[in-house]
Amino acid sequence: MLKNKKIILITIIAVILLTLTGCSNKEEKIPQADDSAFLMDTLVQMRAHGENAEKAVEASMERIRELENLMSKTIETSDIYKLNNSPEMKIDINQESMKVLKKAVNYAEQTDGNFDPTIGALVELWGIGTKNPEVPSESEIKRALSNTGYQYLKLYDSSAEITRPGVKVDLGGIAKGFAAEEVKKVVENYGIEHAFVNLGGNVLVIGDKVDGTPWKIGIQDPRKDRGNVMAIVDAVDKTIVTSGNYERYFEKDGKIYHHIIDPKTGYPAENNLLSVSIISENSFDADALSTAVYVMGLKKGMKFIENMEDVNVMIITEDLDVYISSGLKDIVEIKDSDFNLIEGENFAD
């Protein structure tokens, strides 16, 4: 049975919570603009409050389209498509694409390859999220693994090169985070102090709500369908990005295969985790970190985040234990008694 969830509103259902919240008199007086579109292979939703709200939302959506055209692996005019289809050649790369490539390689190095932007051959092989996913043979996985490794991606001042034919770059685990940060710049340029954008579960809130209270971001219950919240995070000028094994997957012979591939084994990561949520001030970093920590697993992932400044994590295990890093104690509220909250900073020692 295939369960394809390309429109990933299951991970974080901030929009539902925000929509159901009633407007105060102050909110009713301030102009508000909303929009949604299918961009970067997901549903993007945005809201802004302020005199220039409509212009800010329109410009933000256009900015995301621009970045999609630069970094999509399927648009033939994009930097990434050209790079993937011209191995052993230096390809001129737009400055913004280069920022994402450099950040991706940096995190590959920091995480010992648990996050790897050259995982494209494995992603294509499994086809999870497409109409025809399949469990590859061991020989196919071995071949795709030989074509995976960030050491085969060379970055220069304004160009990049794939040094091994068959290696393919896939920025699906980081490009949306960069797009969210670009939206933040657009919104601030229009003088907007209250806004949110949801790029398929990558949620960024700007400022607080118009009534002065924090945005309420719901964390999806990974056992249930969309709309079921297991925790709420109070957020002001924060981003929340979640990677979960329930977002995109398929079932074969009674076994579930999810889309978070371990770059070292070639198989979906198996580490007793249901989801990892990164809470920080920067979506660019959080996007890559949510994937990396999921692949790392509980102990290594929690320790990795505790050693970072201004970055926090919530990890949900298959046993429904919820581990939170030290910075989340006062802003996370567990809403379902099935889950057991554990403060994870001591666990990481």
Binding-site residue set: 173, 287, 291
What is the layout of strands, in order, in the sheet containing 153-155? 91-92, 159-162, 153-155
Cβ atoms within 10 Å, residue 128: 20
Helices (H), the chain: 14-20, 25-29, 53-71, 79-84, 95-110, 120-126, 138-146, 175-189, 283-296, 298-306
Please, are residues 38 and 176 in contact by the beta-carbon 8 Å criterion?
no
Residue type, 83: L
User: Is there a contact between 205 and 217 (Cβ–Cβ < 8 Å)?
Assistant: yes
Pick out the residues of the known binding site for Mg(2+).
Answer: 173, 287, 291
How far CA 75 is from CA of 40, 252, 257, 269, in Å, comes to 11, 31, 27, 28
Q: Quick check: helix, strand or coil at residue 243? A: strand
Secondary structure letter of residue 150 according to DSSP: G
Give strand pairing partners of 268.
Answer: 261
